[in-house]
A and B are shown apart, each in its own frame.
Chain A
Amino acid sequence: TQLLEQSPQFLSIQEGENLTVYCNSSSVFSSLQWYRQEPGEGPVLLVTVVTGGEVKKLKRLTFQFGDARKDSSLHITAAQPGDTGLYLCAANFGNEKLTFGTGTRLTIIP
């Protein structure tokens, strides 16, 4: 069974600070996605990374796919209250399904 561990599990920081969330596995992924879920809603895709070492930027969010394709990180610069939510990584391990990570609950304090 492939597991995706995210850290930290909970993170509460002040508006304007920077933060990094991590997603790790003991197995190699074919691809990795990051989703954000707000209360009462379903997850929404932020990005897909498929190449080892790949870096993608989405405004203040920077996503990195590890060279060994076993880890990924999400860095947020100058966090804003609108960034509050549950961040989920989701990996494809070469089969027909997505395996979701354990999640990071992020709270940005105004």
Chain B
Amino acid sequence: DTAVSQTPKYLVTQMGNDKSIKCEQNLGHDTMYWYKQDSKKFLKIMFSYNNKELIINETVPNRFSPKSPDKAHLNLHINSLELGDSAVYFCASSRAPSGSYNEQFFGPGTRLTVL
């Protein structure tokens, strides 16, 4: 069984479009995250939710809107896509927020290409 799953795996779209990426975890974790990994493989946190509440929002443009309908799901909606949004987006989960030295489990990533 997949612990953290994301859909789609690949997303190719035109500039200006709106798109969503979905994430689900079946580990029973309370905390979920969205990360962006750029072409140089630098992994940077975007958002974190704990028990459906937003706890981290790292100066991400407001075109990016996360939504957590329940503890097992964290979706990412992106409006008015720009060329610079092209990257691999990773969802992750942990038992508790990272201040508690918890292991983060990552999904397989969604490669977004904006043309």
- Tell which of B40, B45, B48, B99 has the most Cβ of chain A within 10 Å: B99
Stretch with Cβ within 8 A of A (4 or more), from B13-21, B71-79, B104-112: B104-112
Cβ contact within 8 Å between B98 and A92: yes
Name the prevailing secondary structure of the B interface residues.
Answer: mixed
Whether B4 is near chain A, meaning CB under 8 Å from some CB there, is yes
Number of A-B contacts (CB under 8 A): 63
Interface residues on A, range: 20 to 34
Whether B115 is near chain A, meaning CB under 8 Å from some CB there, is no
Stretch with Cβ within 8 A of B (4 or more), from A18-26, A42-50, A56-64, A65-73: A42-50
Cβ contact within 8 Å between A92 and B101: yes
Within B61-102, the residues touching A (CB, 8 Å) are 90, 92, 97-99, 101
Chain A residues with CB under 8 Å of chain B are 30-31, 33, 37, 40-45, 48, 50, 86, 88, 92, 94-100, 102-103, 105
Chain B residues with CB under 8 Å of chain A are 4, 40-45, 48, 55-56, 58, 90, 92, 97-99, 101, 103-109
